[in-house]
Structure 1
């Protein structure tokens, strides 16, 4: 068959919008209390799906194909836990906690439809679920019964932020991390231990006290030992993040790790963990002996040129974009690396455009940045993403305002896609990138705002 000739930019692309959406993210691994079922959240495009697998079954199963799972408090995380044959998770659409039997059946909400929830933690007897709740910029530790029959009760409030609720094995104590603005969770936090009155349908705090942390001390991941005798946590009070054990009977604190090593991590998100108790009672913890200082020397791809953010061309209002977030992809066959980011070096008017660079030697050296978007030079292009198809074709998607006019009452925004194949053309040449319109226009002024 003779090759078919078409005008430049009109040949079909092997990369489709759906191909861009298949990148898989794995988060929130959790074991059921019987130790036989493992679950995790798979990020598929804009959805989070709980996947489960039993030890005696090689097959995996999607537990939540109809409900996207993702918590939104802070920077997210704390999406899922398993207990007594049920998954407790946060629905992305309404931010309620749902309960769904791992064996099957429908999911049902157990918290009311207001505010947002995160970090569900089921009591050892399975009766209650403690969690972090946020409503109208007010955070708290709350508790609800595991069936959702009762209105939730606030257990702790008055601090700006809360994180990582953890139950005592007897179910009569609860620990969590709390702190106030303007500190971040790696700056100054406190570990609070609460004694619970469990005589009613929902527990209530009978007394509480701070047992660790304070000014310039960060606490991370409280965990009661399975024998109920100790409360373990990570503290950086020595300048390094070490593992400690607080004896609940005597109040004595013992440092379990030593040396110039980190055993915790900055708590950017809920649900993060760096240590766990094994069935034997031993503690398993990850460790960095030099705070990561033995990594190879930084390799600079390019200095990013940014001196102003993307703004609404009519009102001058800032537009939330991915301006400081590059995107990276690797060709699994050739090993080529590709990176894209927003940059203002290409436009005399200071408009943002999409920069592209590639490496063929594992990231040791990078090509000079080129502009790959086809947006007019004085119009913003933003929020780029890069993907590599199975045949090596490189695709980059982005948004722009090229079809907006000042006479319009909305901010017309379109979604575009350019592609290049390294086997048939030099991808460091902007002329070898062809553009396709994916979607739009839509009104950017009506787009959701993350607020962070």
Structure 2
């Protein structure tokens, strides 16, 4: 055991290894008996490919560079592909990130476009494609820009012909709904094909504030098109429904033998102002009790103070999936999540055994097979299959490969701290960890508080090589699920209502101070780091507290007034209404909390990282912020990356950002990490 100061421990986990393993599998699905999913390729300009797992267990990337399977609907995107098994091979449709067009790849052919380019810069964008083979169409969410502003946009459900006739002709795209609602997710067709259900919501609500379930009949030639008689059946302004789906009727319950021969028009019975299915049964995850729980035909299936849903940041997320045998696969938990099989008749829930502590919000089912994406503190995200008959779960794709010997991985502690007024603050604490190094007995370690983005999100309890990059060198990390985070019920989530820049800052500071008070961290060597909304929290912490000796601020919100008046995308353009309050009613609050208005309060060094193509937190905010610092003689470094948007995807960007961040801590905390380029500061 070597005795070396914290921050100077030699680590085999360099920035290149961390960058090469960045990202995770997403959007799993079955194509026949095969399992497909999207996968990151950080060393290929950060693109995402589509991976196919054949029935013999071999994997292949279906689309070579430069194909990039990623949607930009809402800017955060959504499920970008669909496929069907044909006699001569799979038929694939997907969204290509570069032009946002929908493409089809037929067996034996190269991809060809199905949708046109748009004359407007925002273009036509697509998400959640569903192949309707018997109609020769792809049903999707369409996001269509109508003017130059980010808010000049309409969204609706649309049908794209598979014959390619819409590739140059927007009028060939059939609109299935109007654009009455500002936001919506793609339709889920009932197993009998007679009904469709989807979610919708409107400004100023975000989907975790309030959404509505809409059900319509699917008819060949209805008066309103293929989706007729659309009505709201659940949800509302103060009830968030995170997902909707259907369960095939297996006899009994609300279905009788007579129901099987009723016409489509008779299969929906009015119940007050709701529509009640009498055949296939409606499933949804609602937080009407304060927790996202699962409901079938408006009745709770497994009431618990746990979450069976989450924040709908992307379209097509799935926390539950009904099986043909009447059971339901569910991702659920309080904080961390598990994969379970729920019996709706008894409410019994049995979780899959395995080492995983976090299941992502993506599921696919076929027969008794359930496919999910899971990770643990010892493994990154990988594709997992559960046999619902035996309860056996195994990794089938994207298997975790140790970048270094696992003895260098951090060992997290799940902690709950006392915040202001005694409120609970949840966090994951990662102490410095090295198998062959220890610090002198008198020395306390430096710690970096990590504030997650969103802010309506949370920190998953999984192996993160960026955390290991620091802990293996002797720098501790504390991930804080501050008030406003998901995973702990609606009351915890709503602590941030009109308190953004207050509660998040206080909770992060409370964790930092507690670690120092208990002798875990060096009080004089505390830092804060965050991206997006976490970048806001990091910047606001420098202008509003004196806890930290430095900060790493990544693609942040810095100017609330600018952000609320056209400097962000449509989805979050009214988000400040709930996070801060309506601008027209509390304009002083926007100025009071914005870091850009209080740059003169910053007295410690910081690193500012920004993607130049970011339209969510645009670089103009960083430029405005730095202009206010002119002449203040505060050391800072500003690194702006061409070709990067909101969140970094390219390996070379991650390498530069990590090494710069470590150099910041080295210079401020007096550390001596070997082999790290020195970050140059501006004053």
Please give the range of the TM-score, normalised by the shorter of the 2 chains. Answer: 0.5 to 0.7
Give the corresponding residue for 2:142: 133
| Residues 1:88 and 2:93 are matched in the alignment | yes
Q: Distance in 2 between matches of 1:216 and 1:209?
A: 18
CA–CA distance in structure 1, aligned partners of residues 321 and 108 of structure 2: 28
Q: Is the 8 A contact 1:88 1:98 kept in 2?
A: yes
Partner residue, 2:234 = 212
How far apart in 2 are the matches of 1:339 and 1:109? 46
Q: Deviations over 1:97-121 (max 9, x none)?
A: 22224x6531122222232111112
Change (3 A) 1:372 1:134: closer
Q: In structure 1, how many angstroms separate the alpha carbons of the residues matched to 2:609 and 2:213?
A: 38
Displacement of 1:28 after TM fit? 2.8
Where does residue 429 of structure 1 map in the other structure?
670
Contact 1:130–1:142 at 8 Å: present in 2 too? yes
Matching of residue 255 in structure 1 with residue 313 in structure 2: no
User: What is the correspondence of 1:59-138 to structure 2 with a 5 Å cutoff?
Assistant: 59-74=59-74, 75-84=76-85, 85-101=90-106, 105-114=109-118, 115-123=124-132, 125=134, 127-136=136-145, 137-138=153-154
Cα displacement (A) at 1:154: 1.5
Find the residue that maps to 2:415 and give its secondary structure. coil
What residue number does 2:26 align with? 28
For the structure 1 residues 304 and 286, does the alpha-carbon distance in structure 2 shift closer, same or farther, using more than 3 Å as the test? closer
Distance 1:160 1:65 in 2: 34
Secondary structure at the residue paired with 1:25? coil
The offset of 1:15, in angstroms, is 6.7
Q: Please state if 1:149 is matched with 2:169.
A: no
Post-superposition shift, 1:58? 2.2
CA distance in 2, matches of 1:66, 1:113: 18
1:383 aligns with 2:609: yes
Compare the two structures and name the one with the higher helix fraction.
Answer: 2
1:50 CA displacement: 1.1
Give the 5 Å matches for 1:48-447.
48-74=48-74, 75-84=76-85, 85-101=90-106, 105-114=109-118, 115-123=124-132, 125=134, 127-136=136-145, 137-150=153-166, 151-156=172-177, 157-199=179-221, 204-227=226-249, 229-246=280-297, 253-288=298-333, 295-297=414-416, 298=427, 301-302=447-448, 328-331=466-469, 334=472, 365=521, 367-369=525-527, 381-383=607-609, 419=659, 428-429=669-670, 433-435=676-678
Q: How many angstroms does 1:142 deviate by? A: 1.2
Paired residues of 2:449 and 2:478 also in contact (CA < 8 A): no
1:117-163 C-alpha deviation (Å, 9 max, x unpaired): 11112237473222111122211111223343352112222111111
**Contact map agreement 1:89 1:99 (CA 8 A) in 2:** yes
- Alpha-carbon deviation of 1:193? 0.9
SS at match of 2:185: strand
2:4 is aligned to none
Shift of 1:167: 1.8
Q: Residue deviations 1:71-112, cap 9 Å, x none?
A: 1122222222333323322111111222224x6531122222
What RMSD over aligned residues (CA atoms) do the two structures have, in Å?
4.5
Aligned to 1:352: none
3-state SS of paired residue (1:174): strand
Post-superposition offset of 1:218: 1.1
Structure 2: which 5+ runs fail to align? Answer: 1-12, 119-123, 146-152, 167-171, 250-278, 338-412, 417-426, 430-446, 452-458, 480-514, 528-548, 553-602, 612-621, 631-637, 642-655
TM-score between both structures, scaled by the size of structure 1: 0.64
Q: CA contact under 8 A between 1:98 and 1:109: conserved in structure 2?
A: yes
2 CA distance for matches of 1:287 and 1:334? 32
Q: TM-score, normalising length from structure 2?
A: 0.44
Is the Cα–Cα contact under 8 Å of residues 18 and 465 in structure 2 kept in the other structure? Answer: no
**Rounded Cα–Cα distance in structure 2 between residues aligned with 1:332 and 1:304:** 12
Contact residue 467 and residue 477 of structure 2 kept, 8 A:
yes
SS in 1 for 2:59: coil
- CA 1:337 to 1:234, structure 2 compared with 1: closer, same or farther past 3 Å? farther
Q: 1:54 to 1:418 in 2, by over 3 A?
A: closer
Deviation at 1:274, TM superposition (A): 0.6
Of Structure 1 and Structure 2, which has the larger fraction of its residues in strand?
1
Which ranges of structure 1 fall in alignment gaps of 5 or more residues? 1-13, 247-252, 306-324, 342-358, 386-398, 406-411, 438-452
CA contact (8 A) 1:176 1:192 kept: yes
Distance, in Å, in 2 between the alignment partners of 1:217 and 1:257 is 18
Separation of aligned partners in 2, 1:259 and 1:417: 42
Is the contact between residue 162 and residue 178 of structure 1 (CA under 8 Å) also seen in structure 2?
yes
Size of the aligned set, in residue pairs, is 348
